[in-house]
Every structure is written in structure tokens, then in C-alpha cells.
Amino acid sequence: MTATINSMELVWADKLTPGSLMQNDLIKFNGELLEVLNINSDATGDNYFIQYSDEYGERDEVTISHDTYVDLYVYIENSE
């Protein structure tokens, strides 16, 4: 029987506006990889408040405009 090692690789997937993001998405914003915890918009829908966790587990919130694009990343499985 052969041994298969499965590893996960983080790859860029798309550019999205904040209205297209979902909880648990991994995004790159200001050079940091962040996990989206929660997303809310103001009453006008012009600004989005994204609560996130960074690679150190620290939580914070960023406000971005509805027309700002962020990079979406996903893990894909590689078998070697």
C-alpha cells in the first residue's frame, strides 16, 4: 500500500467586494491574511464593518467602502 501525504496549499481565488464576502472567508487586506468573523453594513450600504481574526488569533474590525476589492484566498488539497 502506498502512503499518500495530503497537504493544503493557500492560493489566491478572486477579488471580491465586501458585499460578496461570507463568514470564515480568508482575505488579504493591507498585506495581512485575515479570517472574516462577521460582516455588517451601515444603513446606506456604503460602508462595511468586517470583524476579523489575524494569523495570531487577535480580533479587530476594519471599515471598508462598498466598492473596495479584497483578495479572497482558499485552501486547496495537494497530494504528493
The backbone region for 72, taken as left when phi is positive above 0, alpha when psi lies in -120 to 50, beta otherwise, is beta
Of the chain, the end-to-end C-alpha distance in Å amounts to 15
Q: What is the pLDDT of residues 17-75, one digit of tens each?
A: 999 999 999 999 989 999 999 999 999 999 999 999 999 999 999 999 999 999 999 99
Q: pLDDT class for 79, splitting at 50, 70, 90?
A: low
Query: How far is it, in rounded angstroms, from Cα 80 to Cα 71?
Result: 27
Helix and strand numbers (H, E) in the chain are: 0, 6
Residue ranges of domains in the chain, CATH in brackets: 14-79 (2.30.30.30)
Q: What is the pTM of this model?
A: 0.82
